[in-house]
Structure 1
Amino acid sequence: MLTIDSLSHRLSSYLEPTQINRVKRAYYYAEQAHAGQYRRSGEAYITHPLAVANILASIHMDHQSLMAAMLHDVIEDTGIGKAAISHQFGEQVANIVDGVSKLAKIEYETQAEKQAKNFQKMAMAMARDLRVIVVKLSDRLHNMRTLGALPAEKKRRIAKETLEIYAPIAHRLGMNDWRIEFEDRGFAAMHPLRATRLHASLQQVRGNRKTLVEKIQAAIELRLQRESIDGLVIGREKHLFSIYNKMRSKHKSFKEIMDVYAFRIIVEDIDTCYRALGAIHNLYKPKPGEFKDYIAISKENGYQSLHTVIIGTQGVPIEVQIRTKEMDELASRGVAAHWLYKSSGDDDSASAGSYDRANRWIKRLLEIQQHTNSSVEFVENVKIDLFRDEVYVFTPKGEIIELPAGSTPVDFAYAVHTQVGNTCVACRINDRPAPLSQQLESGQKIKIISSEKSQPNPNWLNFVITAKARAAIRHYLKNQRHTESVELGKRMFMRALTNNNLQFDQLNHDQITGLLEKTTSESLDEMYESVGLGRITALTITSILLPDSDENRDGTGITPISIESPDSLLISFARCCRPIPGDPVVAHLSTGKGVVVHREPCKNVSDLRSKKESLSDISWSPNVTGEFLTIIRVEVKSERGIIASLATRIANTGTSIEGIQVDERDAENSVITLTVAVTSRVHLANVMRSIRNMRSVTSVGRPKT
């Protein structure tokens, strides 16, 4: 049984006696605070903080982390405040305890919002001191080890949260041993039957594999001895959750996964890593495309190793990892190794690098948080960021940018700088033009072409991967939508005043205050935004100023806006009639969406008028630019290659086709409906004239609405 004395003995291997005494003092303080409290298992509650501290001792965490582990539930469960802990044990320990306390009792599923807000608190606490999350992870690890006393439903909830949040965080911080334990224990609690069956299969296979594993290991050791390389060769076992995940994601059988053998070679220094790699490749043939050098380009969480797959005797695939002792330590402990080297007085660059990477990741979390209003959306973005493998691409200057697998040039642009992402218009991959939606691969050189006049495209949200890109695009579009709705609402309001022989400058303070009160607006901008988004009409506001006036009650005569481009977030074009510049148009103010533009003859306009919906006149700006989608209906005589001929004819007019639909009326005649992008009625007339001149075309026109 673990006691404070046995823990003290363990700590004496790396802490000073004065530091151990401080840890013991924190233990006795917590023991007194938790007196009379018990865990579900029936044990005294103090056994939990003691066990958490013991987990931290196993990775040689500093004495302040151990003190915080002893005290981590005191604020939450005993009513003792942060100030009291700060007075007794110092501000740093109190801050860690407070940070961990704020993360306690996260609810899941039924209270997603609460869980999300707690996770945001975790990001803030981590930003102040990384030790907060290390203590929290050790707290969760002990809870996972003692799940047995909990009801089945609560077990599953905690296990799901562990798999979705805590295991990926441990992975991101490079704490691989903890990640594996989180995953295996979470898997066993979530799917006990599957875990039991898989474990039994693993035990059965292990006996059959033993001879071959020993044979391969002996061959590798012999080859290293011949090359005078001093290295430790270890057979590596796949853990349960890893096997289960591969079976599900790669649709492979248990046998297929277990047919791959894995070994780790640990050597003295980096130079020997590469020498060992050469020896292994001389022993067995390497599998093309399977070599990865994570020493030259380390993973985002600081992980370093050489990975290769070789084909052994009888065609058996063998995965080999080659690394130094320090790299192996970092692979197991990750960011926690920073305190190990720091406390021993050795400023190890690898551990410092891991620590810096963790801090960079946390800064990225805070960036995402600043651009995300919904805490649930924040958690979803972070899950994406936590789970993905990385690709490594280069800037034109040769700098390495780390991105999640599946990232696109737009993700790359935002990784370089938010402004680069916001003004991105095109890209070149390895000096060749490429679409912005193309997935990037490691080793590619990416050049972003930007324009100050450009802005994020809402369609980017359909393919960007990184949380930073998604958050920045949404943030920009939200601000842009706000700006546009305020401007639109202001213009509509001013025109409504003019139509009622009023001037804004003539309104006194009491009139403006009255307007804001009756429209429940905090400011004029908020009132304008409500008008622009269609929540209230400009007519309603003028009726507040002129309650007895019946003028313009039907909304006619108000021409608040002109259309300048197809890209406005507050002006959309009705799909039913697809208006283009030059068409007579009318505007429908749709609640929450802004202005929807219809062609005047559209049958839906008649329906809206009959329902007395809010309609107003609208005009095309003389300087309108951009491409607008519209529909052409072409009747043709069916013949071979007619669609290709039609597409070629349209392309020759400088027009892009966005959609084609074919309706065969009979064996001889078909109707082809084309969605094309044009700039004006003149442009459309030229396209239709070109189509009409085709021999097989019997008629062409815009469909009647």
Structure 2
Amino acid sequence: MVSLSFTSDTMSHKAVQVAFKKLKENTNLYLNDEEKSALRKAVHYGAYAHEKQIRKSGEPYITHPIAVAAILAEMRVDIDTLIAGVLHDTIEDTEIGFDDLVQEFNVDVANLVEAVTKLDKLKFRNFKEAQAETFVKMLFAMSDDVRVIVIKLADRLHNMRTIAAMSHSGQKRISQETIDVYAPIAERIGLKHMQKELEDHAFKALHPKRYQQIITGAKEIAGNRKKAIEKICKNIEKALLDASMVAEVSGRQKSPYSIYKKIKSKQLTLDEVHDLFGVRIIVQELHQCYLALGVIHNLYPPSENGFKDYIAVPKQNGYQSLHSIVTGPYGLKLEIQIRTENMDQMSEAGVAAHWLYKQKAAQSTASLNKVRNWLGSLLRLQADSGSSLEFYENFKSDLGLDEIYVFTPKGDIVQLPIKSTAMDFAYAIHTSVGSHAVSAVVNGEPATLSKVLETGDTVSIKTTKGLTVTADWLSVVVSSKARTAIRKELKDIKDEDALLLGHRMLDRALDTFGHSFEALDARTIKKVLNHYQLESMDDLLKSFAYGQLLPSIVARKLLPLMKKRKLDKDYQPKEALIIDGTEGSIVNYPHCCFPLPGDEITGYLSPAKGVVIHRSQCVNLLETLKDSPERSVKCQWNVDPSGMFKTKLMVDVINRTGVLANLASLIAAEDVNIVTIDQVDKEGGFSQLNFVVEVESKGHATQLMNRLQRHTEVLNVKRVYHEKNH
């Protein structure tokens, strides 16, 4: 146990006194005397613990945790959260331990400080992985106690306010993480003011010149439009009074980063950003929001598609307000926001405010439930993702997106990211609906699953049994839920394919050594699994198909001792691995040689791609096997292979009008699917047409080539082996 006197010369430093004064100003209005005394004790305790530490700015380190607590106090958080804010770095950076905090304060404070510390202790291979893991850790901490995240956000906000003291590379790294992780989380839990400030500090550090251009340009425009905005506010206030409504009307300006995002996404100049300024109206009662909207629209004409009702359908973070873009005097476009006082407080303090006092027995609100549901859906997505990085990359695009609201045929509202498709809707209803969806009906009209939806659409999905998910589906969806579900199903299919192929590969290897899978004993299997650090026989079998382990080597280890002693060093399998086209995504056919049934083939066990089937004389294969001959797999086609296989045909033609269309029609008439077409014009009125087509076999390809060769404008046809491109 650490013994502290609670006295420190640090407390007399001018910067510390200024920081402490700010904290007291922010807490005087809502803390009682006992809580003020506890906070004072925490500040002195922290000052003593951090006494020998100095910030990069040269100030005593304790100025940072005190400033973090002052930021938290602006949200009127409870006393335990304030104390944890003051002490959030003690466990990590000083000799103070968890038990010390319990003894001097309480378990709640100690738990909060320890939880914040855990977020900072992670070490990663690279920045992207660090971002992903940070996001996932914050997600889990938030699901347990959102105060941990609020402390961490306040910590990051103060670091961003003082980021100039960091190195240039450090500023860039921290700012990018702030934009990608911290600001979106602040937005999602409703801390709008914190989100905006985090974004603006990060934007300034990442793009200082662009930031200054926007600040200067917006200031000039503000000077020109200031009187117009003031006049609009007075007109609105008077019109509302005439309608017997007392309201607070104020002008506002878009934040620099919001302006930058709009300029970038819409390809605009600063002068073309029409909603640079807006008006916020705070009324007393809910029904007055809609009455006020009518008054505004009588004053200034609304823009088409410029109205959003976030009161009837709140955002996922609980945000509620009416938004309407109107045209004011002089053709000035501006956004009007109308909300009640409670809604305004929610937009500033966020749903997090419900948790900050940790009133667990308090009645849940609709907004609180929305965020809890959001957190629950995220945790389910994370569980279904292959890794934290995959989950983060999937979900990151959702974080900054606006939402659309569509309806089921029964009238239920479904919230989706903007630009979502009918397939996103299907997965939002249920994963099983998405994986069996074949088409949609949007507003009573038949539609494809790639149909982009808009707010107000009514959508139903038609399903069928027997569908197999393909990687192409990923290009149709935008929501993280759909992407995660599709990727998971693709992985499950691939794992199943790998299991079957791996079993065949091990059977073949054991047979070469005069042994069989059925004759393996449990003790030997367990020993081999432990050697390769695998959990089960299924994992071992899949590792063969994925090219991670060689079946010939593992088979030797699985043999009884007496058989091992009799083995020759050279491994020559008795039988070839039979390839019939039904192995699924686990077997790859490379574009260097486009092997077809009928070609002599050899497999290569690639650690990255699994089993790769080449033509036996493929130059790429022969070069690869020089360094890894043990990864060669003797293969042959099944007598009656299934499926379609790609091949490339190079067709030299006389360049005449319509020749490409004629040949494409000829190929289609042979029931052959064209995957890609490429045309290269040559001198003398000739062209080279390159077709990648899907055929059943080498014989089928030869038949098609003969048919093309008979065309009057075709000079020559041949199969192409791009052996250097693999």
Same fold (TM over 0.5): yes
2:301 — aligned with what?
285
Amino acid at match of 2:410: K
* Structure 1 segments unaligned to the other structure (5+ residues): none
Q: Paired residue for 1:218, among 225, 234, 241?
A: 234
Is the Cα contact below 8 Å between 1:62 and 1:343 reproduced in 2? no
1:586 — aligned with what?
601
Amino acid at match of 2:347: A
| 1:616 has 2:639 as partner | no
d(CA) in 2 for partners of 1:608 and 1:34? 59
2:693 — aligned with what?
676
2:82 — aligned with what?
66
Is the Cα contact below 8 Å between 2:580 and 2:642 reproduced in 1? no
d(CA) in 2 for partners of 1:609 and 1:192? 52
| 1:92 has 2:105 as partner | no
d(CA) in 1 for partners of 2:38 and 2:97? 19
TM superposition shift of 1:132: 0.9
2:305 is paired with a residue of what secondary structure? coil
1:230 is paired with a residue of what secondary structure? coil
Cα deviation 1:215-238 (Å, max 9, x = unaligned): 222332333333333322211122
d(CA) in 1 for partners of 2:668 and 2:614? 27
Amino acid at match of 1:591: S
Amino acid at match of 2:638: W
Give matches, 1:79-118, under 5 Å.
Answer: 79-104=95-120, 112-118=128-134
Amino acid at match of 2:604: L
1:628 — aligned with what?
645
2:499 — aligned with what?
486
TM superposition shift of 1:198: 3.8
Cα deviation 1:227-264 (Å, max 9, x = unaligned): 33332221112222223333334333233337854211
Give matches, 1:541-620, under 5 Å.
Answer: 541=554, 545=559, 546=564, 548-549=566-567, 553-555=571-573, 557-565=574-582, 568-579=584-595, 583-584=598-599, 586-592=601-607, 593-598=609-614, 614-620=632-638
| 1:392 has 2:408 as partner | no
Q: How many residues align?
A: 698
d(CA) in 2 for partners of 1:236 and 1:51? 27
TM superposition shift of 1:289: 1.8
Is the Cα contact below 8 Å between 1:30 and 1:70 reproduced in 2? yes
Is the Cα contact below 8 Å between 1:661 and 1:672 reproduced in 2? yes
1:590 is paired with a residue of what secondary structure? strand
2:198 — aligned with what?
182
Amino acid at match of 1:442: T
Amino acid at match of 1:501: G
1:412 — aligned with what?
425
TM superposition shift of 1:390: 2.1
| 1:274 has 2:290 as partner | yes
d(CA) in 2 for partners of 1:218 and 1:511? 86
| 1:169 has 2:207 as partner | no
TM superposition shift of 1:130: 0.9
| 1:661 has 2:674 as partner | no
Is the Cα contact below 8 Å between 1:125 and 1:132 reproduced in 2? yes
Identity of matched residues, % = 39
Cα deviation 1:368-396 (Å, max 9, x = unaligned): 43234544444434432322222223334
2:264 — aligned with what?
248
The 1:419–1:81 alpha-carbon spacing in structure 2 relative to 1, beyond 3 Å, is farther
> What is the Cα-based RMSD across aligned positions, in Å?
4.0
Cα deviation 1:95-137 (Å, max 9, x = unaligned): 2221112223778996554454344322221111111111211
d(CA) in 1 for partners of 2:294 and 2:326? 12
Please give the TM-score of this superposition, normalised by the length of structure 1: 0.85
1:503 — aligned with what?
516
Amino acid at match of 1:616: K
2:326 is paired with a residue of what secondary structure? strand
Q: Which moved more, 1:61-70 or 1:536-545?
A: 536-545
Is the Cα contact below 8 Å between 2:228 and 2:329 reproduced in 1? no
The 1:481–1:152 alpha-carbon spacing in structure 2 relative to 1, beyond 3 Å, is same
TM superposition shift of 1:195: 3.6
Is the Cα contact below 8 Å between 2:604 and 2:612 reproduced in 1? yes
d(CA) in 1 for partners of 2:239 and 2:186? 36
d(CA) in 2 for partners of 1:618 and 1:679? 16
2:271 is paired with a residue of what secondary structure? helix
The 1:441–1:629 alpha-carbon spacing in structure 2 relative to 1, beyond 3 Å, is farther
d(CA) in 1 for partners of 2:476 and 2:702? 35
TM superposition shift of 1:186: 2.6
d(CA) in 2 for partners of 1:474 and 1:182? 33
The 1:470–1:696 alpha-carbon spacing in structure 2 relative to 1, beyond 3 Å, is same
TM superposition shift of 1:317: 1.5
d(CA) in 1 for partners of 2:525 and 2:141? 44
The 1:177–1:619 alpha-carbon spacing in structure 2 relative to 1, beyond 3 Å, is same
Q: Paired residue for 1:441, among 454, 475, 487?
A: 454
Amino acid at match of 2:678: Q
Amino acid at match of 1:467: S
Is the Cα contact below 8 Å between 1:587 and 1:595 reproduced in 2? no
Is the Cα contact below 8 Å between 1:657 and 1:676 reproduced in 2? yes
Amino acid at match of 2:606: T
The 1:453–1:77 alpha-carbon spacing in structure 2 relative to 1, beyond 3 Å, is same
* Structure 2 segments unaligned to the other structure (5+ residues): 1-16
The 1:547–1:264 alpha-carbon spacing in structure 2 relative to 1, beyond 3 Å, is same
Give matches, 1:14-33, under 5 Å.
Answer: 14-15=30-31, 19-33=35-49
d(CA) in 1 for partners of 2:128 and 2:666? 55
| 1:642 has 2:655 as partner | no
| 1:355 has 2:373 as partner | no
Q: Which moved more, 1:377-386 or 1:289-298?
A: 377-386
